[in-house]
Amino acid sequence: MKTLKEVKCGETATVTKLDGDGALKRKIMDMGITKGTAIFVRKVAPLGDPIEITVRGYELSIRKKEAENILVG
| Secondary structure of residue 64 in the 3-state scheme | helix
Domain boundaries defined on the chain? 2-72
Question: Cα–Cα distance between 1 and 63 in angstroms, integer?
Answer: 19
Nearest in space to 33 (alpha carbons), one of 50, 51, 54, 10: 54
- Rounded mean pLDDT for each run of 10 residues along the chain, 73 residues in total: 91 93 90 93 89 94 92 92
Supply the CATH classification number for the domain 2-72. Answer: 2.30.30.90
Strand partners, 60: 53
| Secondary structure of residue 33 in the 3-state scheme | coil
Q: pTM (2 decimals)? A: 0.85
Burial label, 27 (beta-carbon count in 10 A; 0-12, 13-18, 19+): middle
